């Protein structure tokens, strides 16, 4: 039998419980509050004062420092600079013991708690959770931390759900809130609802007016910078995306679509775009409008029109992308003609087919359509619009009929129900097939063929769903265009004598220039008038 000799330990594991040890431990503390409310700040200051006195009041402890995070959530450690510095210093050996109030003050994420504690343990650094009286170098320390961290994480999840429920209840009640600090045009009123800021509202109206005049997102951003107008964030520089977000935000017409984004993970606090995952709430007339609803809707149609022709950011005039060449189908562009004679400079702006001279290498291939001036376009438009308005009642009746046809999506909806049912059935069949293959020995060739058939049915049904949904969106979009068109012509006199840019943008789809210089105006209602 082997002879075993026991060698006694001479360097016992140090713990905060070893109060009789002559070893002076270097001690730091970590304090955190999750909000910046006055009550919490008082708690924060109290924590700092308490741990300073606690550490300095013990002869066996040497005070190092106190790490703090103020107004930061403990759910994750990404934005907790004090926590990060504490971890770095602990791993580099700047202190032997870290004192903190509780597991929940340390982290409400089980993974973060255990990861940090284990890193500290590797370098002989201990954490003391005062409230729970847990010492991480104790044999039971990690188990207790795991349990307490899990409880803290569950508490955080419960709090998050309660907050979310409260927010959604406010939404369901029609109570609108805005990120006022970075939202142009509104401030929080005395009643808690959005209140218009006149000076900022003028900037918003300017942005909408510039877009109606034909300027692009980027051109508007440059204009605002040149005129020293600050962005919603208070910066001198403007981004095209910021301009676009203002132009497409329904809140400027007094309505509010709430829950555009939602928190997908309470641990990471990551906000993602809501594409149908959770309910949304649309509140009409929830607050004062800066932009008239009809004007706002006209802008949305114009944005969609520019996208549809593949030129969302290249428009510089209200006529750009609307004038079409009858010969080649291409667009007209603005050209500047100039000359210098007898000490005088002549400058003239005209519109001409962009492809007029591109194919002159082949005889007869060049476009024969003429150039046209803006005054001619405006005059022809007035003639065409007045012709259209000569039978306004009949036109409105035809538009209402077309609108009712477009809005009738019952056949599409019925087919969608069938397809969605088919997808559900096929999904269940595929699931059962996978379970069958996992549990029992089946012929793999036959099983693959059967499962592939399920997948093919699922794929075809899903593709058809996408097609039908796109068709439905297109039809409802056209119906909306007609609705805006009807509202506009109802508000106009039967005869107009002056060109109106807003009217042009609201009612005209395209104007095709023929070789004889006539223009065929296609209105948003689908009507065509030549002038």
CATH number for the domain harbouring residue 125: 3.40.50.1390
**Together in a domain, 148 and 194:** no
Q: 184 or 76: whose pLDDT is higher?
A: 184
Residue 217 near residue 311, CB atoms below 8 Å: no
Q: How far apart, in Å, are the Cα atoms of 252 and each of 46, 240, 324, 336, 397?
A: 45, 18, 33, 37, 31
Residue 76 near residue 267, CB atoms below 8 Å: yes
**Together in a domain, 133 and 185:** no
**Cβ neighbour number for residue 116 with a 10 Å cutoff:** 23
Report if residue 38 sits inside a domain.
yes
Local structure of 335: helix, strand or coil? strand
Report if residue 153 sits inside a domain.
yes
Report if residue 423 sits inside a domain.
yes
Q: Provide mean pLDDT across the span 361-383.
A: 81
**Together in a domain, 88 and 190:** no
pLDDT at 97: 92
Task: Tell me which residue has tokens 């944005």.
Answer: 303
**Together in a domain, 418 and 477:** yes
**Together in a domain, 154 and 35:** yes
CATH number for the domain harbouring residue 206: 3.90.1750.20
Q: 12 or 524: whose pLDDT is higher?
A: 524
Q: Provide mean pLDDT across the span 507-519.
A: 87
Nearest Cα neighbor of 222 from 237, 204, 203 is 237
**Together in a domain, 191 and 120:** no
pLDDT at 76: 45
Report if residue 29 sits inside a domain.
yes
Q: β-pairing, 332-341 with 270-273?
A: unpaired
CA distance 100 to 491: 70
Q: 423 or 192: whose pLDDT is higher?
A: 423
Reported as a single tens digit per residue, the pLDDT across 26-38 is 999 998 766 544 4
341 has a pLDDT exceeding 80 = no
**Together in a domain, 94 and 153:** yes
507 has a pLDDT exceeding 60 = yes
122 has a pLDDT exceeding 60 = yes
3-state secondary structure 347-408: EEEEEEECCCCCCCCCCCCCCCCCCECHHHHHHHHHHHHHHHHCCHHHHHHHHHHHHHHHHC
pLDDT range class, residue 17, cuts 50, 70, 90:
very low
DSSP type of residue 12: P
Report if residue 439 sits inside a domain.
yes
Beta bridge partners of 521: 511, 529
Q: How many domains does the chain have?
A: 3
Residue 315 near residue 285, CB atoms below 8 Å: no
**Cβ neighbour number for residue 44 with a 10 Å cutoff:** 20
**Together in a domain, 35 and 156:** yes
pLDDT at 266: 44
Structure-block tokens of residue 99: 């004192």
Report if residue 525 sits inside a domain.
no
What length does the chain have? 531
Q: Which of 258, 281, 308 marks a domain boundary?
A: 308
Residue 82 near residue 69, CB atoms below 8 Å: yes
**Cβ neighbour number for residue 353 with a 10 Å cutoff:** 27
pLDDT at 344: 61
Going by C-beta distance under 8 Å and a sequence separation of 6 or more, which residues neighbour residue 153?
Answer: 108, 109, 110, 267
Q: Provide mean pLDDT across the span 298-302.
A: 76
Identify the weakest region by mean pLDDT among 231-245, 382-396, 468-482: 468-482
Does the predicted model carry a pTM greater than 0.85?
A: no
Domain boundaries, position 260: 180-308
pLDDT at 73: 47
pLDDT range class, residue 230, cuts 50, 70, 90:
confident
DSSP type of residue 67: E
Nearest Cα neighbor of 377 from 226, 499, 205 is 499
**Together in a domain, 151 and 214:** no
Q: 214 or 331: whose pLDDT is higher?
A: 331
Q: Which of 308, 339, 356 marks a domain boundary?
A: 308
pLDDT at 152: 58
pLDDT range class, residue 463, cuts 50, 70, 90:
confident
Reported as a single tens digit per residue, the pLDDT across 68-94 is 887 554 444 456 788 888 889 999 989
DSSP type of residue 181: G
Torsion, Cα 380 385 386 388, to 10 degrees, reads 130
pLDDT at 19: 44
**Together in a domain, 279 and 189:** yes
CA distance 372 to 482: 29
Residue 344 near residue 334, CB atoms below 8 Å: no
Torsion, Cα 318 320 323 325, to 10 degrees, reads 170
pLDDT at 27: 92
Identify the weakest region by mean pLDDT among 350-364, 369-383, 392-406: 350-364
**Together in a domain, 124 and 187:** no
DSSP H helical ranges for 373-524:
374-389, 392-407, 410-439, 444-490, 501-507
pLDDT range class, residue 153, cuts 50, 70, 90:
low
Nearest Cα neighbor of 93 from 31, 28, 18, 11 is 28
Q: Report the chain's mean pLDDT, rounded to a whole number.
A: 76
CA distance 26 to 228: 55
Q: Cα 448 to chain center, whole Å?
A: 41
**Together in a domain, 32 and 156:** yes
Q: Provide mean pLDDT across the span 254-259.
A: 71
Report if residue 283 sits inside a domain.
yes
Identify the weakest region by mean pLDDT among 28-42, 348-362, 504-518: 28-42
Identify the weakest region by mean pLDDT among 16-20, 137-141, 478-482, 495-499: 16-20
Q: 317 or 211: whose pLDDT is higher?
A: 211
Report if residue 156 sits inside a domain.
yes
């Amino acid at each position: 039998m082997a002879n075993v000799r026991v060698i006694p330990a001479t360097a016992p594991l140090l713990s905060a419980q070893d109060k009789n040890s002559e070893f002076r431990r270097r001690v730091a503390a970590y304090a955190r509050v999750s909000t910046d409310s006055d009550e919490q700040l008082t708690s924060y200051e109290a924590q700092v004062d308490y741990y300073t006195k606690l550490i300095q009041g013990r002869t066996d402890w040497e005070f190092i420092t106190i790490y703090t995070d103020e107004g930061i959530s403990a759910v994750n450690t990404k934005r907790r600079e004090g926590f990060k510095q504490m971890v770095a210093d602990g791993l580099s050996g700047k202190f032997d013991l870290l004192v903190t109030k509780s597991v929940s003050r340390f982290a409400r994420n089980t993974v973060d708690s255990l990861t940090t504690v284990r890193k500290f343990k590797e370098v002989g650094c201990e954490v003391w959770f005062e409230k729970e009286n847990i010492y991480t170098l104790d044999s039971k320390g990690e188990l207790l931390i795991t349990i307490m961290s899990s409880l803290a994480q569950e508490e955080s999840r419960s709090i998050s759900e309660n907050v979310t429920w409260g927010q959604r209840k406010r939404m369901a009640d029609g109570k609108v809130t805005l990120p006022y600090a970075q939202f142009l045009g509104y401030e929080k009123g005395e009643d808690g609802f959005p209140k218009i800021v006149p000076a900022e509202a003028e900037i918003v109206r300017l942005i909408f007016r510039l877009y109606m005049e034909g300027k692009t997102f980027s051109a508007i951003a440059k204009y605002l910078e040149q005129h020293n107008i600050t962005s919603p964030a208070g910066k001198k520089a403007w981004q095209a995306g910021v301009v676009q977000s203002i132009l497409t935000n329904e809140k400027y017409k007094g309505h509010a679509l709430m829950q555009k984004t939602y928190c997908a993970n309470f641990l990471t606090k990551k906000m993602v775009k809501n594409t149908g995952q959770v309910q949304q709430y649309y509140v009409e007339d929830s607050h004062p409008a800066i932009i008239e609803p009809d004007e706002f809707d006209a802008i949305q149609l114009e944005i969609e029109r520019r996208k549809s022709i593949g030129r969302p950011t290249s428009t510089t005039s209200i006529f750009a992308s609307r004038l079409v060449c009858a010969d080649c189908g291409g667009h007209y562009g603005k050209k500047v003609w100039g000359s210098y004679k007898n000490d005088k400079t002549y400058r003239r702006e005209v519109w001409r087919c962009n492809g007029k001279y591109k194919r002159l290498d082949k005889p007869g291939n060049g476009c024969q359509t003429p150039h046209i001036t803006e005054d001619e376009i405006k005059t022809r438009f007035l003639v065409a619009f007045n012709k259209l308005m000569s039978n306004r009642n009949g036109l409105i009746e035809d538009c209402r009929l077309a609108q009712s046809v477009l809005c009738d999506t019952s056949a599409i909806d019925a087919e969608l129900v069938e397809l969605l049912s088919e997808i559900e059935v096929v999904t269940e069949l595929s699931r059962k097939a996978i379970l069958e293959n996992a549990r029992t020995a089946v012929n793999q060739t036959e099983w693959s063929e059967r499962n592939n058939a399920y997948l093919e049915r699922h794929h075809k049904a899903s593709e058809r769903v996408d097609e039908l949904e796109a068709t439905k969106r297109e039809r409802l979009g056209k119906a909306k265009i007609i609705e805006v068109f009807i509202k506009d012509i109802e508000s106009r006199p039967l005869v107009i004598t002056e060109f109106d840019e807003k009217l042009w943008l609201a009612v005209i789809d395209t104007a095709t220039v023929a070789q004889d210089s006539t223009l065929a105006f296609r209105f948003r209602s689908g009507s065509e008038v030549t002038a």
